[in-house]
Amino acid sequence: MRLFLAALAAAVLLAPPADAGQQRPEPAAAVLAAFDDHAIVAKSSPDVGTFVFDLIRDPRFPARVNDIAVKCGNARLQPLLDAYTTGAEVPDISRVWRETTQPSCGFSTFYEQLFALVRQVNTTLPASRKIRVLATDPPVDWSRVHTPADLEPFLDRDTSIAAVVKSQVLQRNRKALLLFGLGHLTHDGGSGAVARLEREYPGAAYVIADHRGFTTDNARLEQRLGSWPALVPMKGSWLGSLETTYFPVNRDYPPGTRGYPGVDAYLYEGPADLLLREPLSARAVLDTAYLAELRRRAAAIDAPPDSIEWPETFFERERRSGVLLRG
């Protein structure tokens, strides 16, 4: 019996997808179509490929999306970000992502490029259609942080995200693309920002997880995913019928749970072994004044010596990690 069950399981894994023979919708079109029924499309970020940048370049995007909400942006500096993305001369836009509660944001190339891309796209759009980027990280003023207690009011990031999206998107009947770590986005009754928003706005979000590798049988399951890029819905697909243990979830679920809990679709941008990590910003790494400020912040909040709040620790972790996402 055990051999029979093992053979049956292998046959299911290797069988053609349930939607074999059907034409997959083009991924960008599928994402934009999700805005027909949802005010929010929420996608894990930073991107493991070029999908987000290509989507924003797509001429169909501004007609469907008003806002892009991001984690690497200090909400206190929203006026600075608005000025920059609408074409004004801004002396130091890097403050927007360098002054967040997350030290890694300061070395991000993804958000630096994202803001510049939106600024450029907006030059082609009328005022009524310009895309707005929403900074959602808590509005900390680091010049006033001298003790751990000074930072304490700014540590609840999900509350800040939810407040910004509620006031700037949902209450204004706008449409937004949300780019955050998946833990903030799943709508499975947890404490993340999307789950909080959907208690008041049920069904507001369509949640997309990036493929970063299955926990087991990765090579065989990637073969079933086929060509890329591809956006595969969970509902009604073979992915949705997989046991949850195949996905890199961060908590336990009851035996027999299927699919990726709290996720509506799965974006496949290629085999996990070929995905590249986000490179560090050379501009930030070489900015000695910025590194000194990071050290001051780390000391002010009594950060442990081995925490990534200290730039040297962060750099050492990055040095050991290599260039591949799974390297």
- Domain segments of the chain as ranges: 22-270, 287-321
Percent of the chain clearing pLDDT 90 (strictly above)? 83
Distances (CA, A) of 228 to 205, 209, 287: 24, 15, 38
- The answer to whether the beta carbons of residues 192 and 200 sit under 8 Å apart is no
* pLDDT band, residue 14 (cuts 50/70/90): very low
Task: For residue 245, give both structure tokens.
Answer: 């243990």
pLDDT band with cut points at 50, 70 and 90 for residue 21 = very low
Write the single-letter amino acid at 307. Answer: S
Sign of CA dihedral 116, 121, 126, 128: negative
- Tokens representing residue 242 in the block: 């997989």
Token couple for 276: 């590249």
Better-predicted residue by pLDDT, 298 or 1: 298
Q: Could you give the 3-state DSSP secondary structure of residue 68?
A: strand
The angle that helices 218-225 and 2-14 make with each other, rounded to 10 degrees, is 40
Mean pLDDT of the 105-118 span: 96
Residue 229 pLDDT exceeds 90? yes
Look at residues 254, 311, 271, 259 and name the one whose alpha carbon lies nearest to residue 288: 311
Task: Determine how β-strand 230-233 pairs with β-strand 265-268.
Answer: antiparallel
pTM: 0.91
What was the pLDDT predicted at 322?
Answer: 85
For domain 22-270, the question of CATH label 3.40.50 is answered with yes
Which contiguous run of DSSP H or E holds residue 133? strand 132-137
Taking 60 as the threshold, does the pLDDT of residue 127 lie above it?
yes
Rounded (5°) CA angle 319-151-180 = 55
Classify 74 as helix, strand or coil: strand
Q: Tell whether the model's pLDDT for residue 1 goes beyond 60.
A: no
